[in-house]
Structure 1
Amino acid sequence: MAQIVVTRPLVHGALEGLAPPHTVETGPPPTGSELSEEALIERIGTASAVVTTVADPVTERVLSSCPNLEMVAQYAVGLDNIDLAAASREGITVTHTPGVLTEATADFTWALLLAVARRVVDADAFVRSGKFDRWETRTLLGMELHGKTLGIIGMGRIGSAVARRALGFGMDVVFHNRTPANPTIIRETNSRQVALDTLLRTSDVVSLHCPHNDDSHHLLREDTLATMKPSALLINTARGPVVHESDLVDALRAGRIAGAGLDVFENEPDVHPGLLEHERVVLAPHLASATVEARTRMGQMCVESLLAYFSGEDVPYTVRSQL
């Protein structure tokens, strides 16, 4: 029987089937958006396993300060918050929830895109403020997507799901990858692979779906943003640091791009004040995976990993690149 700590409440039923025989302790919501290292160490205590989120700092200090910790089950796909090298040194198994967020994130990408292109947030505020007194020819004009070019940076699971949805809108799809994409995906999405500068120069919408690493850090910055069309929109449901936020604000203020839809931020949860004040920016608090279905399945995958580990079976969803 293992002692398992869950760092914060999850959606109802997400961890169904985990206890008994194991004891599961779920912590209260943290004060503020994140736990500190000290709070996380205290919360894990003598537990054998912990279910973490992307807001939990699973650092070398945390891992080395929890003597009984054998497993970290990350309730997320991304692993930026976990020191994988330290986990490997400590002999701690790390799992995550790959593939589960694909459709939810692709849906939300389109929600942001449509909200920015058709000024949905502005329209809602316009009506609620009592300004709507008659139909007008020039009120809140937006961008029509049919016939436009969608540029996808990162044609993985989520990028290709976004591209499939673009077919229904009659958009042309181009993409940029560091490696050649699956030919089947190219056929299914009627897309073509291009160089990054070509994508930025020709796309009416640029949507980010690449991981955050040394190569993609500040991929969209002053010089690359300057390559985009003045009428183009930028959508980011990937990782905040892929975009240099101050440079994005400068580009928006100068009219070098037309708008942005952002679900993630460079210094999350802090948001650049220039984004908060810009009328052609739609902001969301990291909601791409926020469906009951996706969040429940994430919990189920954590349960599968934990039960397998403590039963001595092969552990699914293990992060293999810890060494």
Structure 2
Amino acid sequence: MKKWNDTSQIFTKPYLVCIFALICCFLWGSAFPSIKIGYRLFQISDADAMSQLLFAGYRFTLAGIMVILIGSFIKREFLYPRKSSWSMVIKLGSVQTVLQYVFFYMGLAHTSGVKASIITASNVFIAIFLSALVFSEKLSIHKFVGCLLGFIGVIFINLEGGGLDLQVSLTGEGAMFVSAFAAALSSVLIKQYSEKEETFTLCGYQFLLGGIVLTLIGLLNGGNVTGFTPASTLLLGYLGLISSVAYSLWSLLLKYNPVGKVAVFGFSNPMFGVILSAILLGEKNQAFTLKGLLALILVCSGILIVNRSK
């Protein structure tokens, strides 16, 4: 009889994989409106990329501290990477936190939010393709069809008033694609590295390292974050909690499951982002419409097809 105290059993049961993955995506989706609120509370303009990077640096540094403390409490010992693990921490932090977010903010400043959301969603395709190369995961037809349906759903939820055009620039769409590639590559790296090092240790220290680097980049290039109040500090703490909980849980799912089976849930990120933006920011043009419902159906169908039982 399988024991529930066996972590591998908990994180491989199909219905629990679905629940945990959707919790991660809900948390990440809530980051979109939370960051917008944070920019307002900390007086950061949409065009001030360096202050945004500094804000992200604070967030991820805090997330790293949270993961290390939570993981240490769970393991009942202070988590610290082995000497042989520091190279993995540095590579993961450079890709997942530094590379992804530097290019994300660069691209966001030079392209529309619609294009940014769609290009970011392409990381699911990239992650599945990379996992096929690295872990020999099968690129089946149902997996391709499921991803295609999810991607179409993301396009649907983001199409509003002709917000999509065919203009492409290296600093805009090119930078967003690099960010998406970094996000996909980090999924493959965390699965590979978690076989050699404790997942909480990898997540905590890569966030801490990446957060410090982003903070230094922001500070050295004139970034400025002011307006610390109880409300804004609480929001920053929530953003740190989003990263720490969601990424740690996502990493555990990747450790015990094929990358493609988990990555496809990423298509629900923009869905949650749009719905929560409608609730928290009053942006209801996309969420509560027939088009929004169709997008939700497509994304859910894609997830079900990729995760269907043999």
TM-score for the superposition, normalised by structure 1? 0.28
Q: Which has the higher Rg, Structure 1 or Structure 2?
A: 1
Of Structure 1 and Structure 2, the greater helix share is in 2
More strand by proportion, 1 or 2? 1
Higher relative contact order (CA 8 A, sep 6+): 2
* TM-score, length basis structure 2: 0.29
